[in-house]
């Protein structure tokens, strides 16, 4: 598993509850700089369209608190939230907003991420949060998970990238970084293949349902309509994302206990 990336706690209260009740909560994915005007438009749209059920501040009413929603936490620039807003979730009683324009959906997404980010930064969780509150797992069980079902040793080495990791990171930072990957420093790469067989490889800059752009190995920025090319994307954090749905609370706490022995 990759340890240069992640965030565990959404609110300070959630962090303390996590440490005491063994219930870690991942923080939202970074979305980049926000547009204040878009956030205000999204706020108004959300209140008029969604506030009756989810509360005007998205913290829940008749429908769930969205700020703790795994969908919001894992959303990347609307890739998860957008389709749900457009299509609804009939099985859960949420209507569709099929007539809502794409830019309006984007504003609502921006508002929700703003709310989540505001909640996160109101936490003020101390960096020296006591190890005794976090160290509740079994180190031997964590080691077995590291080399076994967790698959951590497939990408990491306790004598390589993880050597002395418990000295390099505070306990709270270590726990945060081992649970949910942050892709700020770990770039996705891609291979674009054209109809004539020519290929371009490089760092993926942007992708959506219409376009893909990248910085090719020759240093040039290029962009293409997705319909015109075949694209293969390599995400170094893919295994981490898969683990998010497989982790159990004991897995997380045992693994943390093991990593804390790497001094």
* pLDDT, tens digit, 9 for 90 and up, residues 32-53: 677 899 999 999 999 999 988 8
Q: What confidence category does residue 2 fall into, taking pLDDT thresholds of 50, 70 and 90?
A: very low
How much is the pLDDT for 1?
39
CA 121/CA 254 separation, integer angstroms: 28
pTM for this model (two decimals) = 0.46
132 near 23, Cβ under 8 Å?
no
* pLDDT, tens digit, 9 for 90 and up, residues 5-24: 333 333 333 433 444 444 44
Q: What is the DSSP letter of 26?
A: P
| Cα 114 off chain centre by | 15
How much is the pLDDT for 116?
84
CA 213/CA 203 separation, integer angstroms: 9
Residue 245 has pLDDT above 80, yes or no: no
* pLDDT, tens digit, 9 for 90 and up, residues 130-141: 677 678 889 999
Structure tokens at 38: 């878009």
Q: What confidence category does residue 185 fall into, taking pLDDT thresholds of 50, 70 and 90?
A: low
Task: Report the alpha-carbon angle 236-233-86, nearest 5.
Answer: 105
With a pLDDT cut of 70, the percent of the chain lying above it is 80
18 near 24, Cβ under 8 Å?
yes
How much is the pLDDT for 92?
81
Structure tokens at 222: 């290029």
CA 14/CA 35 separation, integer angstroms: 28
CATH 2.30.30 fits 189-235, yes or no: yes
How much is the pLDDT for 164?
93
Q: What mean pLDDT comes out for the span 181-202?
A: 82
Q: What mean pLDDT comes out for the span 87-99?
A: 87
How much is the pLDDT for 130?
67
Q: What confidence category does residue 170 fall into, taking pLDDT thresholds of 50, 70 and 90?
A: confident
């Amino acid at each position: 598993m990759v340890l240069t990336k992640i965030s565990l706690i959404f609110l300070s209260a959630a962090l303390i509850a996590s440490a005491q009740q063994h219930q870690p909560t991942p923080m939202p994915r970074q979305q980049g700089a926000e547009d204040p005007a878009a956030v205000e438009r999204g706020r108004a749209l959300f209140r008029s369209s969604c506030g009756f059920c989810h509360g005007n501040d998205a913290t829940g009413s008749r429908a769930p608190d969205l700020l703790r929603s795994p969908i919001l936490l894992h959303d990347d620039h609307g890739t998860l939230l957008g389709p749900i807003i457009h299509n609804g979730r009939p099985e859960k009683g949420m209507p569709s907003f099929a007539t809502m324009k794409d830019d309006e959906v984007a504003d609502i997404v921006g508002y929700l991420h703003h709310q989540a980010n505001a909640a996160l930064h109101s936490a003020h969780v101390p960096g020296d949060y006591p190890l005794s509150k976090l160290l509740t797992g079994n180190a031997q069980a964590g080691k077995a998970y590291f080399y076994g079902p967790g698959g951590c040793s497939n990408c990491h080495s306790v004598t390589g990238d993880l050597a002395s990791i418990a000295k390099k990171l505070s306990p709270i930072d270590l726990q945060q970084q081992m649970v949910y990957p942050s892709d700020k420093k770990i770039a996705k790469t891609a291979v674009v293949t054209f109809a004539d067989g020519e290929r371009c490889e490089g760092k993926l800059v942007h992708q959506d349902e219409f376009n893909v752009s990248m910085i090719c190995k020759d240093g040039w920025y290029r962009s293409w309509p997705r319909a015109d090319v075949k694209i293969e994307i390599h995400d170094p954090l893919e295994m981490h994302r898969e683990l998010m749905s497989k982790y159990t609370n004991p897995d997380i706490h045992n693994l943390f206990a093991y990593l804390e022995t790497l001094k």
